[in-house]
């Protein structure tokens, strides 16, 4: 049985001129998705 290795990534943003509520809306949409899906959403 092969185990699939899961890569986890995190980002830290400081001094961003955006409200926490606006950022949270975007982050909630992309959380848990693959890299390709995330790029499509953010474009």
Give Cα separations from 26 to 17, 20, 22 (angstroms): 15, 10, 7
> Who has greater pLDDT, 25 or 1?
25
Please enumerate in sequence order all residues whose Cβ is within 8 A of that of 29, keeping only pairs 6 or more positions apart, or say none: 41
Residue 37 makes CB contacts below 8 A (sequence gap 6+) with 30
CA 31 to chain CA mean position, Å: 5
pLDDT band at 9 (very low <50, low <70, confident <90, very high): confident
Domain boundaries along the sequence of the chain: 18-43
To the question of pTM greater than 0.85 for the whole model, the response is no
């Amino acid at each position: 049985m092969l185990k699939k290795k899961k890569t986890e990534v995190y980002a830290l943003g400081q001094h961003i001129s955006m409200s926490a509520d606006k950022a949270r809306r975007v982050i909630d949409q992309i959380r848990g998705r693959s890299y390709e899906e995330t790029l499509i959403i953010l474009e």
